[in-house]
Amino acid sequence: MQIYWSPRTRSFASLWALEETGMPYEAVLTDISIGAQKTPEYLAINPMGKVPALKDGDVTIAESAAIIAYIAERFPAAKLAPEIGHPQRGKYLQWMFFAANIEAAITQIFTKIEMPTSSAGWGSADQVFDVLDKALETGPWLLGQRFSAADIVIGSGLNFAVRAFKMVPPRPSFDRYLDRISAREAFKAAEKMGAV
């Protein structure tokens, strides 16, 4: 299995997920600062010309949340996803897809675009981070006692927004959660590669 990544990008989350499984993989440096993501070879893997992308035999996948969901299902022994039918499966899926709201919220903060909250799919940036604040009040993880791939998807988004790029002000619940995720050995291993 190959993961195509570049330093200080969204590919950090996929590397973190692979590290959580403890399974062997090949990290293929695809340095976006020199345009490695726009070569014909790479565009054949991800036509968006963005990192990350994952190759598993004949399977190629792009989009971080999809890659991480795939990793969670490909290596069930790592217990990164509640299985189909498990009472926590629904909430798990909700948080996996909630990542798109974080992306939209960050874009809104960056561009200062104003939209009626009832028309914007993510409501507003404040709404997104207030909902996360509330969800992280108890913890330790989004699914309570159980760490899951949703923490990788949401945790890495929050880490970029709050700590790496300081676009979102810290809150006590975010700080506690980000301290917990960054203490994980798998997070540290991905960090050591220079991924974040």
Ligand X SMILES: N[C@@H](CCC(=O)N[C@@H](CS)C(=O)NCC(=O)O)C(=O)O
Nearer to ligand X, 81 or 99 (CB): 99
Quote the least distance from Cβ 64 to ligand X, whole Å: 4
> Which amino acid would we find at residue 92?
Y
Quick one: which H or E segment has residue 5? strand 2-5
Q: Give the whole-angstrom CA distance, residue 178 versus residue 131.
A: 16
Q: How far is CA 23 from the centre of its chain?
A: 19
Quote the least distance from Cβ 144 to ligand X, whole Å: 26
Quote the least distance from Cβ 112 to ligand X, whole Å: 20
| φ, ψ of residue 85 in degrees (nearest 5) | 95, -15
Q: Which residue is nearest to ligand X (CB)?
A: 50
Q: Give the whole-angstrom CA distance, residue 111 versus residue 114.
A: 9
Quote the least distance from Cβ 91 to ligand X, whole Å: 21
Strand partners, 36: none
Q: Report the alpha-carbon angle 116-129-8, nearest 5.
A: 110
Nearer to ligand X, 102 or 136 (CB): 102
The residues that touch ligand X, with contacts defined as CB under 6 A, are 9-10, 32, 37, 49-52, 63-64
Q: Would you tell me how many other CB atoms lie within 10 Å of the CB of residue 103?
A: 16
Nearer to ligand X, 66 or 78 (CB): 66
Q: Give the whole-angstrom CA distance, residue 195 versus residue 160.
A: 12
Nearer to ligand X, 79 or 163 (CB): 163
Nearer to ligand X, 37 or 108 (CB): 37
Quote the least distance from Cβ 52 to ligand X, whole Å: 6
Nearer to ligand X, 21 or 37 (CB): 37
- Alpha-carbon torsion angle 127, 128, 134, 139, nearest 10: 180
Quote the least distance from Cβ 30 to ligand X, whole Å: 8
